[in-house]
């Protein structure tokens, strides 16, 4: 059996933490008519970040997730937006402006208690089954995700894999039987519904590409696991049997319990 798993079901992701981190940068480095009031300054900084995020979503963030720009280009785009950051002020922290922006971008990534055991459960499953991790993501976020995994699972031996910008439609082997398929390497998002909104629209979804072009296995031998209904509907549309389509919360709850009972 092969398991296709949404990578983001194995870690925490809260975009509000990134918004808050970027707002902190804005508050500390920009001038504001509300600077006399800390509360109003914080609110105006957060609102400014939300406005900027919406403005660059289609022109910068989505292209980054689709591999149309690399991490250096993306960070330079952010640096242009945050051109008011005082570089001299940062020298006291030992960080550059790009370091600060990368940290803020990755602030959304974490491992909360409700997901912390999920990756190790997948690794246990990979001893007998193939695991493919799919995600609408970007190299900086993926790098952060695996840094968290390595810190939480120091005994796991990862292959020396490269997560940098690439457009080769090839899964990234991260350890035996475990492969990563990020949107930036395949130039498409996970579902056909998401790809239909692109200009021009993509003809194949990431989940479809993995099933049809990489696995080429009988559909009855493929499982799909995700916390997003859109991914599960995509699997159903592609012909994956209903009994092989699992919501992440239920799948990992049962899987982790099964592993514990075997010990």
Q: Identify the domain boundary among 89, 108, 127.
A: 108
Whole-angstrom Cα Rg for the chain: 20
Distance CA 181, CA 169 (A): 8
- Write the Ramachandran bin of 251: left for phi over 0, alpha for psi from -120 to 50, otherwise beta: alpha
Categorize the per-residue pLDDT at 167 as very low, low, confident or very high, splitting at 50, 70 and 90.
confident
Q: Do both 118 and 212 map to the same domain?
A: yes
Q: Do both 159 and 194 map to the same domain?
A: yes
Closest CA to 133 of 225, 238, 258: 225
pLDDT digits (tens, 9 = 90+) for 19-36: 999 999 998 887 654 554
Range name among 31-45, 102-116, 227-241 with the lowest pLDDT average: 31-45
What sections of the chain are H helices per DSSP? 15-29, 38-56, 62-65, 71-81, 87-90, 97-106, 118-125, 139-152, 183-186, 192-195, 206-209, 229-237, 248-262
Domain that holds residue 30: 15-108
Q: Do both 159 and 84 map to the same domain?
A: no
pLDDT digits (tens, 9 = 90+) for 137-150: 999 999 999 999 99
Q: Do both 62 and 183 map to the same domain?
A: no
Q: Do both 87 and 125 map to the same domain?
A: no
pLDDT digits (tens, 9 = 90+) for 27-69: 888 765 455 445 556 788 999 999 999 999 999 999 999 999 9
Q: Identify the domain boundary among 73, 108, 143.
A: 108
Token pair for 68: 């149309």
Q: Do both 146 and 41 map to the same domain?
A: no
């Amino acid at each position: 059996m092969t398991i296709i798993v949404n990578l983001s079901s194995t870690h925490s992701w809260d975009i509000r933490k990134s918004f808050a981190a970027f707002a902190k940068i804005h508050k500390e480095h920009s001038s504001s008519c509300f600077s006399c009031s800390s509360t109003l300054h914080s609110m105006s900084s957060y609102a400014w970040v939300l406005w900027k995020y919406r403005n660059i979503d289609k022109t910068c963030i989505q292209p980054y997730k689709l591999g149309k720009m690399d991490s250096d280009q993306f960070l330079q785009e952010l640096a242009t937006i945050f051109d008011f950051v005082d570089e001299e002020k940062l020298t006291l922290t030992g960080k550059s402006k790009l370091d600060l922006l990368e940290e803020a971008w990755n602030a959304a990534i974490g491992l909360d208690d409700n997901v912390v055991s999920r990756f190790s459960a997948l690794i246990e499953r990979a001893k007998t089954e193939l695991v493919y991790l799919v995600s609408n993501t970007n190299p900086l976020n993926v790098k952060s995700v695996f840094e968290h995994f390595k810190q939480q699972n120091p005994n796991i031996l990862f292959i020396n894999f490269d997560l940098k910008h690439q457009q080769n439609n090839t899964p990234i082997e991260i350890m035996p039987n475990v492969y990563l398929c990020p949107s930036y390497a395949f130039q498409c998002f996970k579902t056909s519904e998401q790809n239909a909104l692109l200009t021009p629209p993509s003809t194949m979804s990431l989940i479809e590409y993995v099933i049809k072009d990489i696995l080429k296995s009988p559909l009855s031998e493929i499982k799909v696991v995700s916390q997003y209904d859109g991914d599960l509907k995509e699997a159903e549309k592609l012909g994956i049997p209903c009994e092989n389509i699992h919501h992440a919360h239920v799948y990992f709850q049962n899987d982790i319990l099964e592993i514990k009972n075997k010990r």
